[in-house]
Amino acid sequence: MSTLRYGANVQANGVRLHYLLYGQARAGRDPIIILPGITSPAITWGFVGERFGREFETYILDIRGRGLSQSGPTLDYSLDAQAADLAALAAALKLRRYTVVGHSMGARIAVRAARSGLPGLTRLVLVDPPVSGPGRRAYPARLDWYVDSIRLSVAGCNAESMRAFCPTWTEDQLKLRAEWLHTCDERAVRESFDGFHNDDIHSDLGRITIPVRLIAAGRGDVIRDEDIAEIRRLMPSASTTRVVDAGHMIPWDDEAGFYAAFEEFLGAPLGAAISKEKQHVGQ
């Protein structure tokens, strides 16, 4: 049985934010807010929401400029604006306590938001966050990979057209990518990609006082061992783990390993994964 309850829109931080809600509130377990990556509408994390929803009330956010959330030619797509969206969303949903799980760009948003000590934010999970920034090595992905695939989807394309960009993905994953990628505003993606190189999240890490779990991919070169060591120096209380058999899109490469990497950090284990055939994808 699906744990999806509904999708909804809320006015927060002056913009319309769309989210999907999975699972029911459970006594003693904080709700989860999932922040996806640079071209990941909320629906592409639906298979994760289904699993989280078995144990937690779980919200998956369409980051501004993606999915069904607001976009536009004058909208602010900066990291600071995205971080303010998270704070405003939690307030609009009246969440007294909650945990944030951020993947890639979503993890950087969570770091920027958490540096100011958000009321109610109890735990933070950073899933393979780009560690690029001023004076640091570049993020190991090309902007044209995103832009070319977005333009193709805007014109209209099928799963086979997406295969050149994502050769290892399943047919269902490619279909969902082709269906939803056009909702990712090109300017939003360009500005977020630039932010990977211009925004200094390392200066934020030392200001975070809540428990943090870092989940790094075993492949893909987004986070190296020396990066983990630096993060641990900046946040000595952070716990870290690698999902050895996964690249940057960890839940898609090793879904069971992704859930296992949380261990008891969220207050309850996530347990066994759903079958690979039911996976969907975005990046």
- State the total domains in the chain: 1
Q: Would residue 104 count as lying in a domain?
A: yes
Q: Can you give the pLDDT at residue 43?
A: 96
Q: Look at residue 172 and tell me if it is in a domain.
A: no
- Asked if residue 243 belongs to a domain, the reply is yes
**Does 184 have pLDDT greater than 50?**
yes
Backbone angles phi, psi at 214, to 5 degrees: -105, 120
Q: Is 189 left (phi over 0), alpha (psi -120 to 50) or beta?
A: alpha
Residue 86 lies in a domain: yes
CB-neighbour burial class of residue 78 (10 A; exposed 0-12, middle 13-18, buried 19+): middle
| 107/282 Cα distance (integer angstroms) | 15
Q: Is residue 171 part of a domain?
A: no
* pLDDT the model gives residue 276: 40
Domain that holds residue 216: 4-141+199-278
Q: Kind and range of the H or E element at 33?
A: strand 32-35
221 found inside a domain = yes
d(CA 258, CA 271): 10
The pLDDT score that the predictor gives to residue 271 is: 72
Q: Token digits for 52?
A: 């989280």
Query: How does pLDDT run across 232-277, given as a tens digit for each residue?
Result: 999 998 999 999 999 999 999 899 999 999 999 999 999 754 444 3
Judge whether 159 lies within some domain: no
Question: What is the distance between the alpha carbons of residues 164 and 239, in angstroms, rounded to a whole number?
Answer: 37
Residue in 128, 127, 126, 122 with CA at minimum distance from that of residue 211: 122
Cβ-contact 201, 111 below 8 angstroms: yes
Residue whose entry in the numeric block shows the structure tokens 């090309």: 142
Q: Is position 124 within any domain?
A: yes
Per the listing, tokens 């269902």 go with 172
**Comparing 56-65, 115-124, 182-191, which segment has the lowest mean pLDDT?**
115-124
Q: Which whole number is the average pLDDT over 210-217?
A: 97
Say if residues 169 and 127 touch (Cβ distance below 8 Å).
no
CA dihedral 242, 245, 250, 253 (to 10 degrees): -170
Query: CATH number of the domain that 239 lies in?
Result: 3.40.50.1820
